[in-house]
Amino acid sequence: MKVIEHLERSGGNPIISFEVIPPKRGGDISQLFKVLEDIMQYNPPFIDVTSRAAEVEYRETPQGIQKKVIRKRPGTIGISVAIKNHFNIDTVPHMLCFGFTREETEDALIELHYLGIENVLAIRGDDLGYHKPIPEYKSQNAYAYQLVEQIKRMNNGKYLEDDLLDAKPTNFCIGISGYPEKHFEAPNMKVEIEHVKKKIDAGGDYIVTQMFYDNKSYFDFVDKCREAGITAPIVPGLKVLTSKSHLSNIPKNFYINIPEELAGEVMEAKDEHVIDIGAKWTAKQAEELLNRGAPSLHFYIMQSAKPIIKMFNYLNM
């Protein structure tokens, strides 16, 4: 079932979804399955699986510093299918612009269509330092709205090569990202909202937000989207803060603010108490979001279920 259908058929009951990350290259999927087994008690209708392009590493060798290009977490498609079949649940693999040609994207979407995956999240992805050489006879989506356009064209039966006589339309529900505190490359929120609208106008069906720790950012973002004529569901993304290092790592890596009240409480706490502080804060966020009409909640759990289980212990639902 499509994500948009899950949202429409919820009947006012809260929908809780989660996002996980593939194991590291050469790793074992069993740990990921254990995390998913722990969260199935919350009856998620779908699970997102992140994707990561290749990146550049510089390593010291006997021959000097050498550049190495590696994709640290491959397997998004395979893991999405494995989760779908093992847990009988819908999955949402992430599709990227960075690191992939449009031809590779089309092949991946065809494969997902063959395998019965009905949902994708279309994002530009992070620039990890590796700019893949693109041959003259191939092309690349530079922006997320172009990726959305490509997926939408395939939904209409239009592939990169016009002479595919047996080509059938795909049927993907297309999710897009939104940034309540704006993407770090957007000069202001007005431009951020324009980018979101461009992705929706290109064919996006729903929006899932970057994590935030101040609900006012989400509600203001929703208001601005509605004022711009964006009517698609806007799903808030949340992540439990679990360590003192998050106070610097999260703002640095995701360009978001952590409220003074939360940061102050974490800084004064013993290390072993931080996860409880983070879980209580996220539970409070979740309750307010649902009480004020958020269509669902999306939790970034990545590699551990422990923080989210603690959060649900504090959540009154």
pLDDT beyond 70 at 317: no
d(CA 292, CA 39): 25
Domain boundaries of the chain, sorted by first residue: 3-240+284-303
Over 90: is that where the pLDDT of 260 sits?
yes
Residue 106 has pLDDT above 60, yes or no: yes
pLDDT value of residue 68:
60
Give me the CATH topology for the region 3-240+284-303. TIM Barrel (3.20.20)
pLDDT at 112 over 70: yes
Give the per-residue pLDDT at 99: 83
pLDDT tens, 203-225?
Answer: 999 999 999 999 999 999 999 99
Q: What is the DSSP string of 138-185?
A: -----SHHHHHHHHHHHHTT--SSTT-TT------EEEEEE-TT--TT
118-172 pLDDT, tens digit per residue, is 999 999 987 655 566 777 777 889 999 999 999 999 999 999 987 666 778 999 9
pLDDT digits (tens, 9 = 90+) for 39-89: 999 999 999 999 977 555 666 666 666 656 566 678 899 999 999 999 999
The pTM score is: 0.92
The reported pLDDT for the residue numbered 308 is 96
Token readout for 264 is: 């102050």
Mean pLDDT confidence for 255-280: 96
* Structure token pair of residue 252: 């640095």
- Determine what percent of the chain is predicted with pLDDT higher than 90: 77
- Give dist(CA 84, CA 48) in Å, integer: 11
The label of the residue with tokens 């994207």 reads 105
Segment 300-312, tens digit of pLDDT: 997 889 999 999 9
